[in-house]
Amino acid sequence: MIGGRWKWPHLENLNYYLSLGVKVFRIPFKWNRLQPDIAKPLEPAALEGLDRLVGRAVGEGAVVLLDMHDYGRRDKIVIGDGTSAATLESYASFWGELAQRYGKNSLVWYGLMNEPHDQDPILNLNTQNAACAEIRRRGGTGTVLFSGIAWTGAHSWTKTSNGTVMLQAFDPVDNYGFDMHQYLDKGFGGSNPIATEGIGKRILKSATDWATQHRKRIFIGEFATGRTEGSLRELRDLLDAMMARPDIFLGATYWAGGGVWGNTNQQTVDPPRDSPGVMSEQMNLLLPYVGCRG
């Protein structure tokens, strides 16, 4: 279960970012890694690694965002659609198990689903509302982040049903926000390391206006770009746009670190494997923004 290509990041990688003052870590996982059999106990070997990362980060006062990285599905079937054991109830119960394990620490946050897509928006809303309710019932105190359909893109939030449907997101203790993702390349998918000129200043405006109008909060769970001078300029503009509205933006996590990206990825903030003492251009740019919300 823990062998092969899948593994938790090494503590050395986490320690690198802690030493730079990073205050929030998004830790992705797949539901079936932590709970191979639905409605059965969680996998102890997988939890051991997660416990180690969570304990180290929160011990240094950093937020850990638990991120179910499943795109609205389990085993390629949409959660809650009635065709598999991955029901609304089993999904909510899984989140309740994590809340019971970590919930007394408010530095543990809950990212209910990474990038749902090609599914009914009401079903997406209902499954996440059920999960949030179960997190609170089982003692979870940290912030809950809801995700919209259409890959939860900030650029398209108000152009899709997210702008209306997700207004019905409900947290019994009113400690929640919306996980939105925003890449800077053409098409907004993040596969191209070259940012579109002028995108950094304008791309969050419609989502920011929506959040302002409805008194909502946003967390940018994924953003990234490449190392060219122009791309880094757009990255700085994006960060400045978030910093200008601390009433709206809870924070952000760059995609990605973790020590698994090697030497060829142009967008990671990890140091090169063959030059571990060299800081990436993106990390160097991010440093003045790191931890700035205390």
Query: Is the peptide bond prior to 207 cis by the omega test (within 30 degrees of 0)?
Result: no
Cα gap 43→31, rounded to integer Å: 10
Active site residue 222: yes
Cα gap 176→58, rounded to integer Å: 19
What separation, in Å, do the N-terminal and C-terminal C-alpha atoms of the chain show?
37
Quote the tokens at residue 178: 């919306």
SS (H, E, C) 81-101: CCCCCCCHHHHHHHHHHHHHH
- Cα–Cα nearest to 6, from 56, 46, 41, 37: 46
Strand partners, 177: 145
Strands (E), 105-154: 108-111, 144-147
Amino acid identity of residue 24, one-letter, is V
Cα gap 83→80, rounded to integer Å: 8
- What value, to the nearest 5°, has the Cα angle with vertex 201 and ends 198 and 206? 115
Helix (H) / strand (E) containing 68: strand 63-68
Q: Which of 222, 229, 234, 281 is catalytic?
A: 222
Active site residue 89: no
Q: Confirm if 263 and 248 have CB atoms less than 8 A apart.
A: no
Quote the tokens at residue 50: 């997660």
Q: Which of 115, 134, 197, 229 is catalytic?
A: 115
Cα gap 14→205, rounded to integer Å: 32
Q: What residues are labeled active site?
A: 115, 222
